[in-house]
Structure 1
């Protein structure tokens, strides 16, 4: 895993950050070397999400990817991102149905509610990623009490929006009998809960993170500096200054659903993208 923080600054400026874009293109070039070493040709999808969706200068990303790989990158919609996350996670973890999946990214959060048959019943894409929350409201290190109140207020407003959008599709967050958390925020929180010395995908996958433990962790992370969070074994470089914002989002969603735990899945929208190539 390579954390490039492509969403850095997009919420404030509407444009891609030069250094973040360079890091991202460097990582993609490295992935090209990997797939070329396996002889892969012609069946490659490079999909961008919230950061590129929101950037006015997204053409810079497309041009850079094309130059580095020869592949035409795509921006997937919030709906497709939600569908892919559900496809990747709901088939990889055994939990009670109806199942909800939450995908907390850097710029957005996708929340998907499935039915008893395992199919998607409703979805919403929120402007609520861990980078966006942190950049808007958690500037201090560690954040001040007023900043935390402001962040929680923003998150609750977005949860209200989620309830409204899902209701228009005939479903509710409370319909879910279980919640699966995917992507880096959820998996890192699962790793911290386990007390892992390093990030270990096999041990993280299918971890059950109780609501009470998540609440304590969100409070503890918010009280730490970025340097202190970086010393936590499984927190990968580039996540230490935004993980507390993501923890607040996950805790709020779990509380809205009234569930006692979230199950962590290493399978996510990337697995859904792979399945789409089959």
Structure 2
């Protein structure tokens, strides 16, 4: 049986196709497109026309790929960029009419659950952990251990949303930096309380920015061939400091930093730094498995 998951993120649309043989899933096709659906979304809370059209075109391309593979089941999930937009339902309707893809707009709780399911499959959870998935529109946090999901919450502090609201200087000056940190602190009050209670030992970064961090730290790592890896805390801190204090032009020249993340990686670094420092976490891991893998897992027969 062939199954497929489409993840409509605020920045990037992902398609992954797998073949199920017994209990095992074998990935047979994987791609992503930097759609930037959330471009300028914080201004009027709308998917702007150019982003709307990019999204539909991408889904038409995904549908052509799905048809080539004769998929038995496909599930397309839309997250913060669609669910927070006043014309999000219009986008869902257009996707169905123009690309033949039915989209399920999932809430923050469902998103966090799928992320947890994906990360669990990676084998990254080996102790009391805080999973963090930095999206464009939202960031999900999950407290868990090897046995169970303990607590989960989605916050509207994704990298694109933070960037559009606060990224006013280049390089980021101290005033703007403090505004971002104050906003993060105000948003994450509940997370602080739960972390004080459960004392997670490890921060597990779910794909996205954390893949960029590890590729910049260890360029030889075969990111497509691993499900999890340790990230050196001193090396991460050194890299984050470099990214936060560099200009857009300087970051553009850095190896293994894709154009889509040239500015958003600064927001991701500030957010990650805050979590590590405020909650006393001394260990970081990457899980390359994220929401997409969680959705695929849910489709297995």
Query: Shared fold (TM-score greater than 0.5)?
Result: yes
1:69-218 aligned within 5 A? 69-117=99-147, 119-164=148-193, 167=194, 172=196, 174-195=198-219, 200-202=222-224, 205-218=227-240
> Hey, what's the Cα distance between the residues in 2 that align with 1:173 and 1:36?
49
The alpha-carbon deviation at position 213 of structure 1 amounts to 2.7
**Residue 214 of structure 1 contacts residue 251 of structure 1 at CA under 8 Å; is this kept in 2?**
no
The one of 20, 33, 49 equivalent to 2:51 is: 20
**Residue 131 of structure 2 contacts residue 204 of structure 2 at CA under 8 Å; is this kept in 1?**
yes
How large is the Cα RMSD of the aligned pairs? 2.1
Question: Which shifted more, 203-212 or 56-65?
Answer: 203-212
**Structure 2: any 5+ residue segments left out of the alignment?**
1-31
The structure richer in strand per residue is 2
1:67 is aligned to 97
Residues 203-252 of structure 1 deviation map (CA, whole Å, 9 limit, x = unaligned): 67423223333332222112222232222232223221211111111221
State whether structure 2 residue 228 is matched by structure 1 residue 219: no
**Structure 1: any 5+ residue segments left out of the alignment?**
none
The one of 55, 78, 97 equivalent to 1:48 is: 78
User: For residues 20 and 142 of structure 1, do their structure 2 counterparts lie closer, same or farther at Cα, with a shift above 3 Å needed?
Assistant: farther
> Hey, what's the Cα distance between the residues in 1 that align with 2:278 and 2:146?
20
Runs of 4+ residues over 6 Å off in structure 1: none
**Residue 211 of structure 1 contacts residue 259 of structure 1 at CA under 8 Å; is this kept in 2?**
no
**Residue 190 of structure 1 contacts residue 204 of structure 1 at CA under 8 Å; is this kept in 2?**
no
TM-score, normalised via structure 2 length: 0.82
**Residue 222 of structure 1 contacts residue 244 of structure 1 at CA under 8 Å; is this kept in 2?**
yes
User: For residues 132 and 62 of structure 1, do their structure 2 counterparts lie closer, same or farther at Cα, with a shift above 3 Å needed?
Assistant: same
TM-score, normalised via structure 1 length: 0.88
State whether structure 2 residue 270 is matched by structure 1 residue 248: yes
The alpha-carbon deviation at position 141 of structure 1 amounts to 2.5
SS at structure 2 position matched to 1:140: coil
- State the aligned residue count: 269
**Residue 143 of structure 2 contacts residue 150 of structure 2 at CA under 8 Å; is this kept in 1?**
yes
**Residue 122 of structure 2 contacts residue 227 of structure 2 at CA under 8 Å; is this kept in 1?**
no
